[in-house]
Amino acid sequence: MSLTETINTQIPDAMRAKDAERLSALRNLKTALVTEAIALKKKGDLTDDEAFVVIKRLVKQRKESAEQFLKGGRKELAKAEEAESKILEAFLPAQMSEKEVRKIAEATKKKLGIADKSKLGQLIGAVVKETKGKADGVMIKKIVEELLS
C-alpha cells in the first residue's frame, strides 16, 4: 500500500474516532500531496519518495510556525502546530542516527577527496544525496563542518 493510500484510509478512521486534530492534519497533508501532484503534472498519486519530500516540507513549516507563535506569545497556536508536526512525522521513514550520518559523511569526504572548507557545499550536497532524505539537513551540515574544521 502506498503512502497516499495509507493517508486516504486514515482520514475516515480519524472521522470515526472524532479526532479533529488528526483529521485536520491528514486533510492538510492530502491537499498538499494533491497540489504537489498537480504541480509535477502527475496523472496519479505521488511516489512514496515524492510524498516524503512534501511531508518533510510540511513538518518544517509547522516547526517554524510553532517557533514564531512562541516568540509572539501564542502558546496555544504553537501547541497546535507542534501536535500537527508530530502527526506528520509519523509518516516519515525513521531518521538515521548521528553515528550513521557521520560514517557516510566520512566515506563521502574520502571518496570525493575533499580536504578544505572551500568544498563545504559540495560535500553537504553529496551527503544529503547519499542519505536519501533519511537524515536531518541541520545534522548533516553540523557533521560536515566538524569534519572539515
Q: Are both 8 and 68 inside the same structural domain?
A: yes
Number of structural domains in the chain:
2
Q: Give per-residue pLDDT as tens, 95-111.
A: 888 888 888 888 888 88
Rounded alpha-carbon distances, angstroms, from residue 102 to 56, 111, 114, 134, 135: 21, 14, 15, 13, 11
In a shared domain, residues 80 and 23: yes
CATH number at residue 83: 1.10.1510.10
82 & 111 share domain: no
Both 72 and 139 in one domain: the answer is: no
Residue-range definition of the domain harbouring residue 32: 3-89
Say yes or no to pLDDT of 126 above 90: no
71 and 15 co-located in one domain: yes
pTM: 0.73
Closest CA to 111 of 130, 138, 132, 136: 130
pLDDT tens across 9-65, in order? 999 999 999 999 999 999 999 999 999 999 989 888 888 888 888 998 999 999 999
Residues 20 and 68 occupy one common structural domain: yes
**CATH value at residue 116:** 1.10.10
User: Is the domain of 74 the same as that of 122?
Assistant: no
User: Is the domain of 108 the same as that of 78?
Assistant: no
